[in-house]
């Protein structure tokens, strides 16, 4: 049985943890009625085969055989998803953690149904290639996320490591969590699970090594609304993450990443 964390930490403690470990978990940034709205919206979206937005479908089946499904970039098609990306409480916490206003770059919704496999261990900024500062995620649980239904795992402190670039063909399977291009895990620090309650938001650095466990239950989804952000000083960002918006929902100009970073000129980022 998982013990889920209760709300106890001050903002200053969360900030300290974020800088020390690369992540922290905050509570109640979304109201219960907003959580219900998100839940209903994405259930409807799934029922309609991802065709409920103006602008077309963005419902993505990552791996049909593993029942791993997610919606990609819903904020581009829905004003409501844009409002969740720019939620004032999330924006305020991001500004507190980053020391600068945040810009929104990506939204996703993971359904993670019973039987879904996990997400391979990775660092988000390998994909977003935000420079000079790394990206940050705000990952909000719509269901309690536990060891049984596939909560996130993180390597605390790994945000202080550089981005790991793929080395050769061999991808390591890390436990049951799917393929990962990261072949050299910082072995001195083991990944740890981060169970969270419905409505808690986990913030984590774009350099933090993280993934998620499989959903081993037969009857519980592990749904999550995720926003990926960069800070206002960002000069370049991978081409899959434009347009970029500020927290007033205005499009702001950020150049497309031109290559030449830690993984070489050929690497221009990817859909994450």
Ligand X SMILES: O=C(O)CCC(=O)C(=O)O
What residue ranges bind ligand X (CB under 6 A)?
110, 119, 124, 137, 139, 210, 212, 224, 226
CA distance 164 to 203: 20
CB proximity list for 260: less than 8 A, separation 6 or greater: none
Instruction: Quote the least distance from Cβ 12 to ligand X, whole Å.
Output: 25
| The Cα angle at residue 206 between residues 163 and 249, in degrees rounded to 5 | 140
CA distance 206 to 132: 12
Instruction: Quote the least distance from Cβ 54 to ligand X, whole Å.
Output: 25
Instruction: Quote the least distance from Cβ 206 to ligand X, whole Å.
Output: 9
- For 43, the enclosing helix (H) or strand (E) is helix 32-47
Q: Which is nearer to ligand X, 124 or 231 (CB)?
A: 124
The DSSP code for 45 is H
Q: Which is nearer to ligand X, 133 or 226 (CB)?
A: 226
Instruction: Quote the least distance from Cβ 57 to ligand X, whole Å.
Output: 21
* CB-based contact 152:91 (threshold 8 Å): no
Instruction: Quote the least distance from Cβ 10 to ligand X, whole Å.
Output: 25
CB proximity list for 59: less than 8 A, separation 6 or greater: 45, 46, 49, 50, 51, 69, 71, 72
Q: Which is nearer to ligand X, 210 or 220 (CB)?
A: 210
C-alpha distances out from residue 36 to 33, 40, 190, 198, Å: 5, 6, 35, 11
**Closest residue to ligand X in the complex (CB):** 212
Instruction: Quote the least distance from Cβ 187 to ligand X, whole Å.
Output: 21
Q: Which is nearer to ligand X, 137 or 263 (CB)?
A: 137
Instruction: Quote the least distance from Cβ 108 to ligand X, whole Å.
Output: 6
Q: Helix or strand or coil: residue 21?
A: helix
CA distance 212 to 223: 12
Instruction: Quote the least distance from Cβ 222 to ligand X, whole Å.
Output: 7
Residue at token pair 């889920």? 4
Q: Which is nearer to ligand X, 139 or 241 (CB)?
A: 139
CA distance 58 to 74: 7
Tokens of 156: 């605390």
Q: Which is nearer to ligand X, 159 or 210 (CB)?
A: 210
Q: Which is nearer to ligand X, 8 or 65 (CB)?
A: 65
For residue 202, the tally of other CB atoms under 10 A from its CB is 22
Q: Which is nearer to ligand X, 221 or 257 (CB)?
A: 221
């Amino acid at each position: 049985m998982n013990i889920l964390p209760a709300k106890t930490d001050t903002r200053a403690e969360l900030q300290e943890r974020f800088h020390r470990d690369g992540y922290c978990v905050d509570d109640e940034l979304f109201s219960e009625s907003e959580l219900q709205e998100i839940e209903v919206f994405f259930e409807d979206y799934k029922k309609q085969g991802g065709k409920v937005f103006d602008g077309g479908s963005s419902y993505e089946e990552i791996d049909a055989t593993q029942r791993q499904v997610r919606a990609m970039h819903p904020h581009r098609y829905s004003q409501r998803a844009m409002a969740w990306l720019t939620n004032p409480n999330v924006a305020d916490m991001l500004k507190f953690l980053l020391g600068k206003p945040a810009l929104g770059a990506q939204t996703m919704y993971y359904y993670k149904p019973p039987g879904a496999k996990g997400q391979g261990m990775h660092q988000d900024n390998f994909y977003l290639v935000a420079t000079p500062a790394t990206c940050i995620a705000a990952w909000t649980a719509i269901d309690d996320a536990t060891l049984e239904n596939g909560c996130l795992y993180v390597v605390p402190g790994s945000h202080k490591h550089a981005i790991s670039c793929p080395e050769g063909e061999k991808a390591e399977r890390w436990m049951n969590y799917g393929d990962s291009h990261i072949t050299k895990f910082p072995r001195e620090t083991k990944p740890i699970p981060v169970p969270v309650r419905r409505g808690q938001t986990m913030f984590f650095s774009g350099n933090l090594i993280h993934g998620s466990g499989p959903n081993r239950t037969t009857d519980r989804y592990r749904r999550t609304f995720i926003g990926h952000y960069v800070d206002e000083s960002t000069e370049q960002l991978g081409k899959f993450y434009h347009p970029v918006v500020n927290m007033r929902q205005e499009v702001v100009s950020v150049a497309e990443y031109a290559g030449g970073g830690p993984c070489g000129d050929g690497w221009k980022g990817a859909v994450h």
